[in-house]
């Protein structure tokens, strides 16, 4: 990675952020039951009289609460809003978006259920009393955004009176990630712990915890100068002091941050935006290490720091720069490990081992599966990659086992895990498949932005998707429509289209229309079309015009379908664009289920595929799977499994398997088999000759109707997120959304079009 990549390019506007929080169900969280609640019997089991039995069992043996209730997997995110990010004391209510955010991050990254609790008091004792009796409800307490010094008192007291982990994230989460990054940066710059001089600006929750941890890991006390709003904390200072700051006072002559920075090796910023100036950076030691961690804006931006010191290693708290020091790398996984061994606390040994695990991960070679999570680059341990990114899928299997092991070693684990290797494997299944898949797609496109035609540019949700596409720096969004109509709708909806990355194209006055009509006529002249028919199609049909732009190289990809049926759009597109040579056009639907991603094909084109077509469908779908980072295991699905029950409807599928044998394809495939055998390894074990090495992840359906019915049922009944059908096999990338799709769906499909699944 170099200077070009310094900014990763994910920017969001205030308007987008507000809309994101407001749309649909306001906020970011909902609670869903884990047991059926459909019948009278369900209710009798779930509530009265069924609850009586677990109540009595728990009263007799409190540890049974972990068996009969959600307690063991629920963490409360609790705050009083007194230090919301770096925004200050804005109170309990205003902090709720951040706390909901922390809760969803718990779920997203480590499958920990979490609920936010905003307690409306600034008084530590009242706060402590509000929390101390909540122990029975939760497996752990994550304190968040509570200002210093109250946070120290609150955490200490709650740890004493509660028998579940209490962890102030801004202290320890931040410290763990900062320590991990620091030790990697010191390794890269050949520094020795004993000679490293650290200046930490910010003597609050994060600052005190950061320097305590790095001192515990070996940096001498006298090498660290802690600063706050009054400047360096020297021995004898009286103004603005408290006992936690005093513990870090050093004998020094420096009286300002600027003086402290002169010759410093390391800067830790956990204060406010802009606190570090370029002049201060200039005065640092060679190859300085700068962690500007204030959120949402750092003490200095990487651009500003690098402008004066090219040799600096810079980290920030933000996701749009390399080296993000953010406690999101820590708290979900630390609690995951602690909950899984039912730890009674999160102690220093567990924190140190978490830091070591994070640091070690950044030094490892990045395997193929992971490379795409890194903004499309394969990062290599170095100045721009000292810490893994939050989307690194290895974090879930690397950090919790380290934490669980440390809990067991330090005697705080109430339910030890005997096989940590097996535990690590189980953990990877907890990853959220949707986010990883889309992250890979977005990262790759951002690295190589594309010009994408949004064929229905007059629709409001299409305009919104186009703007997000441009804001996400995925490329240029080309809106097709009549200028007046587009602008009128935009104005009415309060959308400003006059911004970089948005182009408007009106088919009627395009200088390219004649070329497009010529192209179309060459293709359709022997299919009953006159030249004037082609001119009319180009001028009047947005899908034809948009597809022509893509076919003739004026755009890279196209998205459509909001206003017309899938099959009609596909028919239009195929008038203009051929299948890729040697390929077959099919539809692949991605089904993102709770614990796995499954591709289903063909969900768009072939009504009753013959064996040859089925074999092609398997090849196309497995190509798409690989492009999405999934190593394909293809199952040809039927009502029968390996010949039983007999019936000629499965013949095609059996023949397709034989065809693939002859084609010597390089992916796993097997069939015919029933869906449960394909997806359940226990059932598959009854067929020891089955060549799949695990449950199938690409399901080739015997017919279009089966494919369509099953994906829709998965969505409605199984709670899966369904994406697609995605078109693969076309010579140029086009994706079609479902009729009436919302802007977020259009955006995702536009990103997938730009990603070009078929290439
Ligand atoms: N990247 C990450 O993962 C994390 C980042 N942070 C960020 O760290 C910052 C502090 O958070 P937190 O410790 O929880 O907050 P606290 O309120 O507990 O502490 C803030 C500290 O910053 C000091 N400070 C404020 N302004 C300045 C300034 N201009 N110069 C020097 N010191 C200053 C305060 O000084 P005084 O004591 O004199 O008032 C105080 O010591 C926030 O920006 C937060 O977003 C926090 C946690 C995680
Ligand atoms: C990241 C975080 O917790 C903070 O900035 O407060
Ligand atoms: Mg915080």
Which atom of ligand 1 sits closest to the CA of residue 327?
3
CA angle 625, 629, 632 (to 5 degrees): 40
Residues 570 and 671 in one domain: no
Final residue of a structural domain among 119, 140, 168 = 168
Detail the residues annotated as belonging to a binding site for NADP(+): 84-91
pLDDT tens column, 158-214: 999 999 999 999 999 999 999 999 999 999 999 999 999 999 999 999 999 999 999
pLDDT tens column, 743-752: 888 999 999 9
Residue 562 lies in a domain: yes
Residues 522 and 603 in one domain: no
Check if the beta carbon of residue 632 is closer than 8 Å to that of residue 598: no
Q: Report the chain's terminal Cα–Cα distance, integer Å.
A: 25
Task: Provide the whole-model pTM.
Answer: 0.71
Question: What would the two tokens of residue 120 be?
Answer: 């409306």
CATH code for the domain in which residue 478 is found: 3.40.50.10950
**Residue 373: per-residue pLDDT:** 57
Final residue of a structural domain among 114, 135, 168 = 168
Burial of 682 per CB tally in 10 Å (0-12, 13-18, 19+): exposed
Burial of 572 per CB tally in 10 Å (0-12, 13-18, 19+): buried
Residue 91 lies in a domain: yes
Stretch 365-390: mean pLDDT: 74
* Beta-carbon contacts of residue 57 (< 8 Å; ≥ 6 apart): 64, 68
3-state secondary structure of 755: helix
Cβ 326 under 6 angstroms from ligand 2? yes
4 pLDDT band, cuts 50/70/90, is: very low
Give the full edge-to-edge strand order of the sheet including 475-480.
Answer: 502-505, 475-480, 450-454, 557-560, 734-736
136: left (phi over 0), alpha (psi -120 to 50) or beta: alpha
**Residue 254 predicted with pLDDT over 70:** yes
CATH code for the domain in which residue 146 is found: 3.40.50.10380
Q: Whose CA is nearest to atom 2 of ligand 2?
A: 85
Residues 640 and 534 in one domain: no
**Residue 705, number of CB atoms within 10 A of its CB:** 11
Ranking 424-433, 562-571, 697-706 by mean pLDDT, the lowest is 424-433
Report how far ligand 3's centroid is from the alpha carbon of 332 (Å). Answer: 13
Q: Whose CA is nearest to atom 39 of ligand 1?
A: 229
Pocket test for ligand 2, best of 78, 167, 176, 206 (most atoms within 8 A of CB): 206
429: left (phi over 0), alpha (psi -120 to 50) or beta: alpha
- Which residue from 735, 736, 739, 742 is spatially nearest to 450, judged by alpha carbons? 735
Helices (H) and strands (E) in the chain, counts: 32, 21
Q: Which entry of 28, 35, 96, 102 is annotated as an active-site residue?
A: 102
CATH code for the domain in which residue 679 is found: 3.40.50.10750
Biggest distance spanned by C-alpha atoms of the chain: 94
Residues of the chain above pLDDT 70, percent: 96
- Cα-based torsion angle of the residue sequence 230, 234, 239, 245 in order, rounded to the nearest 10 degrees: 90
Cβ 298 under 6 angstroms from ligand 1? no
Detail the residues annotated as belonging to a binding site: 84-91, 144-145, 170, 295
**Residue 37, number of CB atoms within 10 A of its CB:** 10
Residues 619 and 539 in one domain: no
pLDDT tens column, 259-280: 999 999 999 999 999 999 999 9
Which atom of ligand 2 sits closest to the CA of residue 170?
3
Residues 564 and 671 in one domain: no
Residues 670 and 703 in one domain: yes
Does residue 102 have an active-site annotation?
A: yes
Q: Whose CA is nearest to atom 6 of ligand 2?
A: 85
Containing domain of residue 559, as a range? 441-576
Question: What would the two tokens of residue 413 be?
Answer: 């684990």
Cβ 228 under 6 angstroms from ligand 1? yes
Report how far ligand 2's centroid is from the alpha carbon of 326 (Å). Answer: 7
Instruction: Please count the structural domains in the chain.
Output: 3
Q: Whose CA is nearest to atom 4 of ligand 2?
A: 85
């Amino acid at each position: 990675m170099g200077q070009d990549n310094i900014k990763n390019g994910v920017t969001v506007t205030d308007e987008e952020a507000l809309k994101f929080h407001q749309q649909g169900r306001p906020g970011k969280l909902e609670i869903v039951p884990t047991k059926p609640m459909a019948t009278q019997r369900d209710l009798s089991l779930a509530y009265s009289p069924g609850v009586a039995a677990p109540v009595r069992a728990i009263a007799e043996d409190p540890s049974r609460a972990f068996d009969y209730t959600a307690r063991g997997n629920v963490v409360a995110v609790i705050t009083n809003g007194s230090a919301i990010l770096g925004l200050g004391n804005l109170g309990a209510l205003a902090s709720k978006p951040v706390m909901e955010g922390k809760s969803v991050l718990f779920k997203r990254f480590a499958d920990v259920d979490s609920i936010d609790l905003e307690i409306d008091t600034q008084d530590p004792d009242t706060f402590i009393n509000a929390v101390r009796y909540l122990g029975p409800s939760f497996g752990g307490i994550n304190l968040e955004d509570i200002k210093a010094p109250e946070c120290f008192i609150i955490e200490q007291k709650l740890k004493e009176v509660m028998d579940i982990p209490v962890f102030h994230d801004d202290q320890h989460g931040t410290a763990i990630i900062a320590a991990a990054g620091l030790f990697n940066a010191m390794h890269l710059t050949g520094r020795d712990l004993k000679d490293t001089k650290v200046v930490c600006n910010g003597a609050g929750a994060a600052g005190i915890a950061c320097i305590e941890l790095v001192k515990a890991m070996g940096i001498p006390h006298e090498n660290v100068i802690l600063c706050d709003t009054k400047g360096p904390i020297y021995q004898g200072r009286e103004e603005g002091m408290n006992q936690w700051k005093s513990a870090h006072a050093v004998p020094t002559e420096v009286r300002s941050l600027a003086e402290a920075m002169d010759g410093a090796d390391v800067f830790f910023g956990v204060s406010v935006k802009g606190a570090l100036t370029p002049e201060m950076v200039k005065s640092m030691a060679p190859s300085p290490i700068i962690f500007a961690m204030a959120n949402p804006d750092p003490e200095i931006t990487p651009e500003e720091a690098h402008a004066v010191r090219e040799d600096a290693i810079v980290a920030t708290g933000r996701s749009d720069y390399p080296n993000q020091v953010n406690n999101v790398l820590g708290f979900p996984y630390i609690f995951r490990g602690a909950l899984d061994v039912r730890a009674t606390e999160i102690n220093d040994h567990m924190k140190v081992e978490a830091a070591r695990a994070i640091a070690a991960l950044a030094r490892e070679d990045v395997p193929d599966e992971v490379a795409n999570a890194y903004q499309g680059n394969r990062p290599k341990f170095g100045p721009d990659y000292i810490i893994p990114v939050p989307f690194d899928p290895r974090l879930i299997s690397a950090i919790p086992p380290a934490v669980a092991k440390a809990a067991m070693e330090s005697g705080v684990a109430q339910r030890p895990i005997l096989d940590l290797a097996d535990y690590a494997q189980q953990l990877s299944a907890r990853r959220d498949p949707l986010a990883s898949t889309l992250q890979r797609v977005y990262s790759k496109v951002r690295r190589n932005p594309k010009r994408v035609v949004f064929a229905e540019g007059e629709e409001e949700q299409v305009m919104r998707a186009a703007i997000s596409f441009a804001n996400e720096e995925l490329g240029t969004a080309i809106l097709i429509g009549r200028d007046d109509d587009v602008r009128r709708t935009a104005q009415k909806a309060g959308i400003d289209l006059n911004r970089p990355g948005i182009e408007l194209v009106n088919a009627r006055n395009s200088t390219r229309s004649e070329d497009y009509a010529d192209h179309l006529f060459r293709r359709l002249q022997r299919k009953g079309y006159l030249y004037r028919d082609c001119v009319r199609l180009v001028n009047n049909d947005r899908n034809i015009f948009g597809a022509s732009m893509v076919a003739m190289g004026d755009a890279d990809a196209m998205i459509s379908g909001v206003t017309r049926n899938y099959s009609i759009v596909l028919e239009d597109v195929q008038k203009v664009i051929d299948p890729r040579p040697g390929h077959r056009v099919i539809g692949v639907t991605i089904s993102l289920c709770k614990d796995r991603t499954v591709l289903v094909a063909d969900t768009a084109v072939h009504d009753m595929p013959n064996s040859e077509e089925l074999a092609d469908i398997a090849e196309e779908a497995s190509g798409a799977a690989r492009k999405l980072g999934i190593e394909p295991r293809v199952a040809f699905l039927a009502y029968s499994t390996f010949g039983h029950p007999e019936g000629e409807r499965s013949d095609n599928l059996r023949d397709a398997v034989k065809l693939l044998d002859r084609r010597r394809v390089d992916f796993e495939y097997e069939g015919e088999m029933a869906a449960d055998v394909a997806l359940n390894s226990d059932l598959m074990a009854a067929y020891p000759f089955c060549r799949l090495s695990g449950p199938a992840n690409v399901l080739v359906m015997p017919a279009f109707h089966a494919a369509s019915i099953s994906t829709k049922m998965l969505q409605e009944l199984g709670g899966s997120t369904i994406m697609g059908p995605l078109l693969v096999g076309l010579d140029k990338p086009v994706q079609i959304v479902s009729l009436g799709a919302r802007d977020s769906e259009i955006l995702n499909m536009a990103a997938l079009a730009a990603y070009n699944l078929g290439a």
